[in-house]
A and B are shown apart, each in its own frame.
Chain A
Amino acid sequence: MGQKVALTGNEAAAFAMRQIDPDVVAAYPITPQTEIVQHFSSFVHDGRVRTEFVTVESEHSAMSACIGSAAAGARTMTATCSQGLALMWEMLYIASAFRLPLVMPVVNRALSGPINIHCDHSDAMGARDSGWIQLYSESAQEVYDNLIQAVRIAEHAQVHLPVMVCQDGFVTSHGLENLEIEPDEAVRAFVGEYRPEYHLLDPERPITMGPLALQNAYFEARRQLAAAMHEAKPVILAVAREFEALTGRSYGFFEAYRMADAELVAVALNSTAGTLKEAVDELRRQGTRAGLLKPRVFRPFPWEEMADALTRPGIRAVAVLDRADTNSTLGGPLFNDVRAALFDAGRRPPVKNYIYGLGGRDVSFAELVSVFGDLRATARDGGTDTPVTYLGVQPRRSGELAAAGTRRR
């Protein structure tokens, strides 16, 4: 059984990486992920892992080195966020196309510009279609648990896809939390040894990776990758069951919080789900049947399960909260996927989108409660003519500032 410790989200990620003890880590520091690399390099220096730690000059090189390492048959990890993930972009697609089981913590931070170091999900959402599995984590505990499970999911013979494990920059990465950790031996036994079916350093079985695949092969390779995403779904659940047997902590595609009889439902990723649980509890005390659905797995998108959960007859309205925008004029990426998932349902509730917290803008308890107030009106009036709301953005402060200036004088 686990032991209680206090760790930040970044420390929890580095701690899990130490226990996983990958063969190779090639990484480059970037705020707010820096501490993961820093703590892990201490473990390397102190001889607490056997990992070959490769310092590189950029994230593009970090991902390139990881691809080379994984292609050579080594269990390989890295970590990044924001601009670093953006710089990795072309290599992300190559990692998944080569079907390399890399595991990478991503500490969600806004993409420039304007330049900003705080939390939103625009970085990971930019990698949404890259063929990487994406797991999202509400807390340091989930960061730790998801990372350990990610190794097993990534390396599963039916999957063989890279996995990113996301957490909110600063909110989770730098917030100290109590969590339960497992003994080193238990984690090592759980992740097991990585034995790839084939790799580049096998002299008995020479292979070619990354061949040119033109009109007569590229499409088949991409179709196969799409199939691997389908295969990942049952594997994610099977690994979660095994993890629960070990730790007692239960995981699925999403967490359904007070959903059994919920009428008004919010959907949100990562740390905001924690604040939403408080909001749901408060609304329940006031007699509103509020609920929360927190996706853990965003890629592959568990659309069938989500449609089942959100079209239960009692549900009257749904709010999807997005910490990123698609700039399509039709809201955020989570909203679009959730809404599309419900399209074929015979009976479906109205779904509204709230874009919030861009660039680390705090989202308050009161604002989240107000979302449920909106949903109540939506449920009453049926449908909505403004599907997308920007929550907590300031339209105009000129009058207020002028007034404050007058007072000062």
Chain B
Amino acid sequence: MKRKLNGPADRPGTAGPAVVGWQEMPRGCVILNPGNALEYQTGDWRSFRPVWDENLCIHCLRCWIFCPDDSIVVRDGTMVGIDYDHCKGCGICARECPPKVGAIEMQKESGA
């Protein structure tokens, strides 16, 4: 399957029609709403996906500490999953997961 390129208008900061008219754009292309990186889904950059095995996980949270994209989802001090909308598939979590635990495995994306 051919990887889908960024579609029009569904990805702020990429190709497609203008996200905002020049008369409404904040002066100097400043972004006024904080935390907007959430809107930018970088998950489709991934060629390898981390697959988490809940049964093996010891919840040491090393993956959470090292993830550069805040894509390890933790609730009440417990690893609960991976945010595939933003995970770029860098593999750092799989590498940092202790070898004797091995709860995260990188698998090739089907479209990659």
Q: Interface residues, chain A, CB within 8 Å of chain B? A: 97-100, 160, 197-198, 205-217, 219-221, 223-224, 227
Stretch among B24-32, B44-52, B63-71, B91-99 lining the A interface: B24-32
Using CB atoms, name the residue of chain B closest to A223.
B22
Question: Which 9 A-B residue pairs are closest in the complex by CB-CB distance?
Answer: A99-B28, A208-B31, A220-B22, A223-B22, A221-B29, A206-B34, A224-B22, A98-B28, A215-B15
Q: How far is the CA of A207 from the CA of B19 in the complex (A)?
A: 18
| A-side contacts of B17, CB under 8 Å | 216
- Known pairs A213-B13, A214-B14, A220-B18; A207 contacts B30 (CB<8 A): yes
B32 to chain A, nearest CB (A): 6
The 8 Å CB contact of A224, one of B13, B15, B27, is: B27
**Interface status of B81 (Cβ within 8 A of chain A):** no
B: interface residue count bin: 20 to 34
Binary interface encoding of chain B residues 34-54 relative to chain A, with 1 for a CB under 8 A from any of its CBs, else 0: 101000000000000000000
B19 to chain A, nearest CB (A): 5
At the interface, is chain A mostly helix, strand, loop or mixed? loop
Q: How far is the CA of A133 from the CA of B76 in the complex (A)?
A: 55
B17 to chain A, nearest CB (A): 6
A131 to chain B, nearest CB (A): 11
| B-side contacts of A97, CB under 8 Å | 28-29
| A-side contacts of B30, CB under 8 Å | 98, 198, 207-209
**Interface status of B111 (Cβ within 8 A of chain A):** no
The answer on a CB contact under 8 Å between B34 and A207 is yes
| A-side contacts of B13, CB under 8 Å | 211-214, 216-217
- Known pairs A211-B13, A217-B19; A160 contacts B28 (CB<8 A): yes
| B-side contacts of A160, CB under 8 Å | 27-28
The answer on a CB contact under 8 Å between B15 and A214 is yes
- Known pairs A207-B32, A207-B34; A216 contacts B27 (CB<8 A): no
**Interface status of B5 (Cβ within 8 A of chain A):** no
**Interface status of B20 (Cβ within 8 A of chain A):** yes
Q: How far is the CA of A213 from the CA of B28 in the complex (A)?
A: 11
A325 to chain B, nearest CB (A): 33
A38 to chain B, nearest CB (A): 33
The answer on a CB contact under 8 Å between A211 and B28 is no
B97 to chain A, nearest CB (A): 32
| A-side contacts of B15, CB under 8 Å | 214-216
The answer on a CB contact under 8 Å between B27 and A213 is no
Extra inter-chain contacts (16) besides given A97-B28, A99-B27, A217-B29, CB under 8 Å: A98-B29, A160-B27, A160-B28, A197-B27, A205-B32, A214-B14, A214-B15, A216-B9, A216-B15, A216-B16, A217-B18, A217-B19, A219-B18, A219-B22, A221-B22, A227-B22
